[in-house]
Chains A and B, each alone.
Chain A
Amino acid sequence: MKKGRLGYLFIAPATFHLVVFAIFPMLFSVYLSFFKWNLLTSERSFNGLANYAYAFRDPQFWNAMWNSTKYALLSVPLGMIVGLLVAILVNQKLRGITLFRTLFYIPAISSGVALSILWIYIYMPETGLINSVLGLLHINNKTDFLKNESLAMFALVFMSIWVGLGPRMVLFLSGLIGIPPSLYEAAELDGAGKLRSFWNVTLPMLIPTTFFVLITSTIGALQIFTPVYIMTQGGPNEKTDVVGYHIYVEAWSKFLIGIASAKSFVLLAVIVIISIIQFRVLKNQLEGYSTT
């Protein structure tokens, strides 16, 4: 390939779009975060770092950050374990296995709003699907999951595992399929049982997949919005007020866009730091295995 200028022409439209709709907005967001700026009245005045100082003092913001952390710490590991187990289950040569894989993927392609409405009804206290099924088993439960302060967060987590199962299954499945059978044969020759070869072959070989799933799931979990907007509006008593929803309210109900920008940069910083840590940890893991 010779060097030339024609290449710029090919990437020009996409690059122009990237500059206008991603890079410029990012920089403009930095600018916004230094201003006291009301979206409705367009009043603005330079505010220095006051928006960031406010964000760090604001107990509601901390509450939202904590809720998001809790949501991510619950939904990401659980979702990954379930995804891996299902991938192992469907990684068998069985008749009709493709049908099951397709079926398991359906929630993931569904409309987020439709699923959220559906799950409101699933969680209803009297006639919701969960309590109805419990009723069939003669368990008389009338819990209003989404209005219960200690359960609402778990209800969102449970739903996210249900929705995210398909994509995680597919990712782990392609990881599993990529493991050379010779490794299992070698492990068997060394006298390793099923469980041992799972620990010593399957899991280490899945580290790159795990890395990808972990980072994308974490970023997704820290930004969850639609189910909270539709199902709980951050309630009850702000127990599900996650940071994505909190920033939405600051910007689009209170119209405080300077503060909202500052808070979204704090969120972005957290996401970047977590991604770097996850990257470091898993990279070391990977190197540890490749040398032994």
Chain B
Amino acid sequence: MKKALSYAALTALGLFLVAPFVWMLLVSLQPNKAPIPTLDHLVPKHPAWSNYHLVLFEQPNLPVLRFFLNSVIVTFSIVLGQLFVSSLAAYGFARMNFKGRNYIFFIFLGSLMFSGPVTQLPVYLLVRSLGWLDTYAALIVPGVSSAFSVFLLRQAFSAVPNELDEAARMDGAGDFRIYSRIIMPLSGAALATSAAFCFFATWTDFFWPLLSTSSSNMRTLEVGLSVFKNSYGNTNWPLEMTATVLVMIPLLVAFLFSQRYFTKGIMIGSIK
């Protein structure tokens, strides 16, 4: 009885969370320029898959494939950059001893909590004075390191037993060797978690790409979608929903592949 109630609650909640996505998909398959149908006519008799062709290939002012390519380039550069830069710093903070270490780490943490609202404008001015506006440099460079991933990786690196590096040190290994041959390979799960967080945060970032790019060839998918919305202005619902579905697909695919790294809580029940 309790079990049945739980399943009922879970299903209701699942519907509440997923129904909007299903509805989005169904609206995207309505004929181009059709009004949103009532619920009983929601499932189209002749799904208009041509909407997808139209959005992907026939929008000269809205190069969706280019948006996608930009998102891929920017996101992968930032994920790789963060993995490298942040893991180096995390190793320094977790496994090495130097003067002022804890103070510097504290500044990293502080910036994480409090720099958000006040840094956008000056970073924009900085990027503008470097002549980077509307280039990949503007989209990528401000993101290649993050205090959050330094924090996350430091926790993981601290958990690796010290005996391992001591043994390596006996064999004459230096810190860089220990970092690359012992700590990094042993921290695969933490690196994957950090990469997953970074991937989703960067791919769905809206504010910074909106500010730092202006030509449609430099827009990311996220900003491109908002431009798409502005140029259709609630006039062509099926096409707008098609664009929205297209933006969602890569995210869903990435989530399915990365969810076990993305959140421990989701999987923990199945490990137990």
A contact residues vs B (CB 8 Å cutoff): 1-11, 13-15, 17-18, 20-26, 28-29, 32, 86, 89-94, 97-98, 100-107, 109-114, 117-122, 124, 127-129, 132-133, 135-136, 162, 165, 167, 169-171, 173-174, 177, 219, 223, 225-226, 229-230, 244, 247, 251-252, 257, 260-261, 264-265, 267-268, 271-272, 275
Nearest CB on B from A46, distance (A): 17
The interface bits of chain B over 75-106 (1 if a CB of A lies within 8 angstroms of the residue's CB, else 0) are 00000000001101101110111110100100
The answer, yes or no, to whether B191 is at the interface (CB within 8 Å) is no
Q: Which residue in chain B gives the minimum CB-CB distance to A270?
A: B117
Check A105 against B247 for contact (C-beta < 8 Å).
Answer: no
Q: When the two chains form the complex, which single residue of B27, B98, B142, B200 contacts A8, counting CB atoms closer than 8 Å? A: B98
Nearest CB on A from B249, distance (A): 10
The answer, yes or no, to whether B189 is at the interface (CB within 8 Å) is no
Check B89 against A261 for contact (C-beta < 8 Å).
Answer: no
Check A14 against B86 for contact (C-beta < 8 Å).
Answer: yes
Check B89 against A111 for contact (C-beta < 8 Å).
Answer: no
Chain B residues closer than 8 Å to A3, beta-carbon distance? 97-99
The answer, yes or no, to whether B125 is at the interface (CB within 8 Å) is yes
Chain A residues closer than 8 Å to B147, beta-carbon distance? 18, 22
The answer, yes or no, to whether B116 is at the interface (CB within 8 Å) is yes
Check A7 against B265 for contact (C-beta < 8 Å).
Answer: no
Q: How far, in angstroms, from A132 to B252 measured CA to CA in the complex?
A: 27
Q: How far, in angstroms, from A275 to B219 measured CA to CA in the complex?
A: 35
Q: How far, in angstroms, from A272 to B111 measured CA to CA in the complex?
A: 12
Nearest CB on B from A140, distance (A): 13
- A selection of 15 A-B contacts at a CB cut-off of 8 Å is A1-B96, A7-B98, A8-B98, A13-B89, A25-B123, A29-B118, A106-B255, A109-B254, A111-B248, A117-B244, A118-B244, A122-B20, A170-B263, A225-B206, A261-B118
Nearest CB on B from A67, distance (A): 16
The interface bits of chain B over 138-150 (1 if a CB of A lies within 8 angstroms of the residue's CB, else 0) are 0000101101001
Given contacts A14-B89, A92-B6, A264-B117, contact A98 B270 (CB under 8 A): yes
Nearest CB on B from A29, distance (A): 4
Q: How far, in angstroms, from A3 to B96 measured CA to CA in the complex?
A: 8
The interface bits of chain B over 1-45 (1 if a CB of A lies within 8 angstroms of the residue's CB, else 0) are 001001101100110111111011001000000011111000000
Q: Which residue in chain A gives the minimum CB-CB distance to B196?
A: A109
Q: Which residue in chain A gives the minimum CB-CB distance to B266?
A: A101
The answer, yes or no, to whether B215 is at the interface (CB within 8 Å) is no
Q: Which residue in chain B gives the minimum CB-CB distance to A129?
A: B23
